């Protein structure tokens, strides 16, 4: 990870990253027609899709959630650079890439410190041609081999000790062949342990049940979960 400091801003670059600080400037992105859409996530703060020099990226700003987010939208208490959310997520993504696990490649992060607080953004490569699991299930059911494949992917992350803090159906992307995990904010490397691994799986199951109630016609049923577990236990 390469680090560049300018006044109160710190730019973090992943290895071989072409990113520049202007990539985080919304006005520069608009003037150059580099904004190529945004995520269709149900949250109130979608990520921006970027296209720069023919390459596709995702720019995500860190927002506070829950009750604190209603009072202070995106400012966090300054904990030291290496404990900021952007620094930790970028570093984790670099570790995930080194483990050759299926996730988006890290590009850069920017941290803007203002006294005792900071704001931050993260850029990753965009997985073009993918849709999230909810979007996929809105169109058609997943086949038995695909559910087994998903379970196998989750097992790979767990065996490697990768903890995903928000494992839900919208943070799983798939195309016709591959399955990826995205959004590792607040994730970390842990010693493999059945307790947190089971909690991760339980969180995903709750997410699928919630989406089945929220999205009309979602092509998911409880028996699909047993197929996922079959792949996970293999």
Q: Please list, in sequence order, all residues whose beta carbon lies within 8 angstroms of the beta carbon of residue 56, skipping any fewer than 6 positions away.
A: 36, 49, 50, 125, 126, 128
Q: Which two tokens stand for residue 165?
A: 């803090």
By C-alpha distance, which of 87, 89, 110, 105 is closest to 9? 110
Half-sphere exposure of 153 (CA within 13 A, CB side): 21
Q: Distance between CA atoms of 56 and 128, rounded to whole angstroms?
A: 7
Assigned CATH topology for domain 131-233: Transferase(Phosphotransferase); domain 1 (1.10.510)
Instruction: Give per-residue pLDDT as tens, 156-182.
Output: 999 999 999 999 999 999 999 999 999
- For residues 62 and 88, is the Cβ–Cβ distance under 8 A? no
Q: What is the pLDDT along the chain (234 residues), one digit of tens a residue?
A: 766 655 578 999 999 999 999 999 999 999 999 999 988 654 557 899 999 999 999 999 999 875 554 567 899 999 999 999 999 999 999 999 999 999 999 999 999 999 999 999 999 999 999 999 999 999 999 999 999 999 999 999 999 999 999 999 999 999 999 999 999 999 999 999 999 999 999 999 999 999 999 999 999 999 999 999 999 998
pLDDT at 69: 45
Instruction: Give per-residue pLDDT as tens, 112-143.
Output: 999 999 999 999 999 999 999 999 999 999 99
Average pLDDT across the chain, whole number: 93
Which amino acids are annotated catalytic? 166
- For residues 182 and 104, is the Cβ–Cβ distance under 8 A? yes
Kindly list the domain boundaries of the chain, sorted by start residue: 2-125, 131-233
- β-bridge partners, 103: 181
Q: Distance between CA atoms of 100 and 115, rounded to whole angstroms?
A: 38
Q: Distance between CA atoms of 41 and 196, rounded to whole angstroms?
A: 26
Burial of 174 (C-beta count, 10 Å sphere; 0-12/13-18/19+): buried
- For residues 84 and 120, is the Cβ–Cβ distance under 8 A? yes
């Amino acid at each position: 990870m390469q680090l560049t400091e300018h006044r109160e801003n710190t730019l973090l670059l992943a290895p071989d990253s072409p990113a520049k600080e202007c990539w985080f400037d919304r006005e520069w992105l608009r003037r150059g027609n580099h904004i190529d859409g945004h995520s269709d996530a149900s949250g109130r703060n979608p990520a921006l899709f970027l296209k720069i020099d023919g390459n596709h990226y995702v720019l995500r700003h860190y927002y506070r959630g829950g009750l604190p987010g209603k009072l202070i939208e995106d400012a966090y208490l300054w904990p030291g650079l290496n404990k900021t959310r952007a620094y930790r997520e970028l570093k984790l993504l670099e570790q995930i890439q080194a483990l050759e696990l299926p996730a988006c490649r890290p590009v850069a992060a920017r941290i803007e410190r203002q006294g005792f607080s900071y704001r931050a953004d993260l850029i990753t490569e965009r997985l073009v041609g993918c849709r999230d699991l909810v979007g996929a299930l809105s169109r058609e059911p997943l086949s038995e081999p695909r559910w087994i494949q998903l379970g196998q992917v989750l097992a790979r992350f767990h065996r490697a000790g990768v903890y995903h803090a928000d494992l839900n159906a919208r943070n799983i992307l798939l195309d016709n062949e591959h399955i990826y995990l995205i959004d590792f904010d607040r994730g970390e490397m842990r010693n493999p342990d059945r307790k947190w691994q089971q909690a991760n799986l339980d969180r995903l199951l709750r997410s699928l049940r919630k989406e089945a109630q929220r999205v009309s016609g979602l092509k998911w049923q409880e028996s699909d979960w047993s197929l996922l577990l079959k792949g996970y236990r293999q």
